């Protein structure tokens, strides 16, 4: 069997004809396998959904209990037969519950890694390499210029700023699934034990992380109704970046806007977003992680999905591994 007979790009996403399922489809389908809860990968309206328990729970939190027809939870490593095709889910280290999906038939294994990272993150199950013939990788930060620094060092910049500007409310922008919980946990791991104020839109996902055993410490609602700006003097307020462009943010005391994202490596992005304190904290692989992962797995072939496909394809070819871009559309990672 040729690899693209087992799995190939179709308008709705990666499709497996033998098992009649899609991986992370971008439009409603009869059967979907979902790698993780970010909105570009996990959409509402499918018939049957197979995903990790955490991803199913996150989809329910975001879309409501009727987000799909039927659902099935896959444990990490469990082998599930779908019309003669074996599928299994393996940790991807990206956000809580995120998985790579291995698809096997007739001795051929393809691993669709979804979004993944290799760096330490205590809010997720760490990435596990899965031996395969074809490795499908994203390339969000697929250029040699992308090197993500040590996250604790980045968080140290925020702590330094809090000491330097003890009057100012530090508004820390972070996407609501994954990054927000990771930065709160990082603050705790850096010894910050004061209350962290959170925007209302983060509450349910933060509570869910806590219910799954991720300790986030003292979190309080950052409600400005009935409170004075002085109440948030010197406090850390975490919210989605969109909230900080809003009137909501101007109520805080001399707000200082920080933003935790892999994109903060690009100075222009920070400037355009009015970010005073950019923190380079990413839930994706940087260039060394992408290339080291491919070297470690040594697959027969690499397929590159969304991001900067061309540079990674070229790198694979120079390393003697056939590679091609899949040109999948509809994945604009929400989470970084």
Q: Closer to Zn ion at the Cβ: 115 or 154? A: 115
Q: Closer to Zn ion at the Cβ: 241 or 335? A: 335
DSSP assignment letter at 176: T
Q: Closer to Zn ion at the Cβ: 38 or 43? A: 38
Helix (H, G, I), strand (E, B) or coil at 183: helix
Q: Closer to Zn ion at the Cβ: 94 or 168? A: 94
In the chain, where do the E strands start and end? 8-10, 13-16, 21-23, 31-33, 46-51, 68-73, 80-82, 85-91, 99-105, 108-112, 134-139, 170-173, 196-198, 219-221, 236-239, 256-260, 277-279, 301-307, 323-325
Q: In the range 297-336, which residues lie near Zn ion by CB under 5 A?
A: 333, 335
Of 24, 57, 115, 286, the one binding Zn ion by CB under 5 A:
115
Count, residues in the chain? 336
Tokens 């490795």, residue located: 135
CB of 71 closer than 8 Å to CB of 48: yes
- Rounded to a whole number of angstroms, the minimum distance from the CB of residue 67 to Zn ion is 17
Rule CB under 5 A: say whether 38 interacts with Zn ion.
Answer: yes
Q: Closer to Zn ion at the Cβ: 19 or 97? A: 97
d(CA 262, CA 283): 7
Q: Closer to Zn ion at the Cβ: 31 or 179? A: 179
- Rounded to a whole number of angstroms, the minimum distance from the CB of residue 277 to Zn ion is 24
CB of 287 closer than 8 Å to CB of 142: yes
d(CA 280, CA 260): 6
Q: What character string, x for contact with Zn ion (CB under 5 A) and - otherwise, covers 220-259?
A: ----------------------------------------
Q: In the range 125-144, which residues lie near Zn ion by CB under 5 A?
A: none
- Rounded to a whole number of angstroms, the minimum distance from the CB of residue 123 to Zn ion is 14
d(CA 190, CA 295): 33
- Rounded to a whole number of angstroms, the minimum distance from the CB of residue 66 to Zn ion is 23
Helix (H, G, I), strand (E, B) or coil at 29: coil
Question: Using CB under 5 A, which of the segments 4-12, 31-39, 118-126, 210-218 binds Zn ion?
Answer: 31-39
- Rounded to a whole number of angstroms, the minimum distance from the CB of residue 96 to Zn ion is 11
φ, ψ (nearest 5 deg) of residue 52: -70, 160
Partner residues linked to 63 by β-bridges: none
Q: Closer to Zn ion at the Cβ: 95 or 206? A: 95
Question: Using CB under 5 A, which of the segments 30-38, 70-78, 134-142, 308-316 binds Zn ion?
Answer: 30-38
Q: Which residues are at the interface with Zn ion (CB under 5 A)?
A: 38, 115, 333, 335
């Amino acid at each position: 069997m040729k690899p693209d007979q087992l799995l190939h790009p179709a308008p709705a996403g990666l499709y497996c004809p033998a098992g009649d399922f899609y991986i992370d489809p971008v439009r409603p389908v009869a059967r979907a396998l979902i790698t993780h809860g970010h909105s570009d990968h996990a959409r509402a309206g499918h018939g049957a959904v197979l995903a990790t328990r955490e991803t199913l729970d996150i989809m329910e939190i975001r879309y409501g209990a009727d987000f799909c027809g039927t659902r099935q939870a896959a444990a990490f490593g469990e082998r599930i037969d779908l019309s003669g095709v074996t599928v299994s889910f393996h940790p991807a280290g990206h956000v809580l519950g995120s998985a790579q999906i291995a698809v096997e038939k007739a001795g051929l294994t393809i691993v669709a890694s979804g979004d993944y990272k290799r760096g330490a993150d205590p809010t997720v199950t760490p990435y596990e390499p899965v031996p395969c013939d074809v490795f499908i990788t994203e390339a969000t930060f697929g250029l040699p210029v992308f090197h993500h620094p040590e996250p604790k060092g980045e968080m140290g910049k925020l702590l330094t700023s809090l000491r330097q500007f003890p009057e100012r409310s530090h508004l820390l922008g972070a996407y609501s699934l994954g990054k927000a919980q990771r930065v709160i946990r990082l603050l705790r791991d850096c010894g910050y034990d004061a209350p962290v104020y959170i925007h209302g839109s983060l509450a349910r996902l933060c509570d869910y992380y806590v219910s799954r055993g991720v300790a986030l410490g003292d979190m309080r609602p950052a409600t400005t109704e009935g409170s004075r700006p002085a109440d948030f003097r010197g406090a850390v307020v975490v919210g989605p970046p969109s909230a900080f462009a809003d009137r909501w943010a101007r109520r805080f005391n001399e707000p200082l806007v920080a933003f935790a994202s892999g994109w903060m490596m690009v100075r222009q992005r920070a400037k355009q977003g009015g970010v005073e304190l950019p923190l380079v904290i990413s839930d994706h692989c940087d260039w060394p992680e992408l290339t080291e992962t491919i070297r470690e797995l040594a697959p027969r072939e690499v397929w590159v999905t969304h991001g900067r496909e061309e540079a990674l394809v070229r790198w694979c070819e120079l390393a003697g591994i056939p590679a091609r871009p899949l040109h999948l559309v509809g994945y604009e990672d929400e989470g970084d």
